[in-house]
Amino acid sequence: MSELRFTEDHEWLRVEADGSVTVGITAYAQNALGDVVFVQLPELQQYEKGSEASTVESVKAASGVYMPLTGEVVQINDQLEDSPELVNEDPMGEGWFFRFKPTDMSEVTALLDQDAYDRLIKANDDA
């Protein structure tokens, strides 16, 4: 598995061998949401960085999942349509949301690495 990257909106990204990037929400985000009951997955199309690509609903709230970089969604995790609880059980594994091909792959490295994300979480918890 390649190195994970993160956004300030608590999405994780992993570059796959085929050059696509897998996206999901972090365990921190899943914990904040509580039990996930529904996931609206994105269309297989181009999205701009920062646009809402997906929605996750829990017993506590609904939250957008934002496109971390500009690119085309090429695959969705359709298991989540029937089993949204996968996000609770394995948010950074089987609970992934979608894969996309970024317009500019070099932008992935500009996202938060694990240390920077851990500092973000600590700052959120301390606030």
Structure tokens of 11? 């999405």
pTM of the model: 0.93
Domain residue ranges of the chain, discontinuous segments joined by +:
4-102
Q: In the chain, how long is the greatest CA-to-CA distance?
A: 40
Helix (H, G, I), strand (E, B) or coil at 120: helix
Return the CATH class of domain 4-102.
mainly beta
- The answer to whether the CB of 39 falls within 8 A of the CB of 84 is yes
pLDDT 10s digits, 7-25: 999 999 999 999 999 999 9
The model's pLDDT over 78-127, given as tens digits with 9 standing for 90+, comes to 999 999 999 999 999 999 999 999 999 999 999 999 999 999 999 988 86
Burial of residue 99, with CB atoms counted within 10 A of its CB: 0-12 exposed, 13-18 middle, 19 or more buried: buried
Three-class secondary structure assignment of 2-59: CCEEECCCCEEEEECCCCCEEEEECHHHHHHHCCEEEEECCCCCEECCCCEEEEEEEC
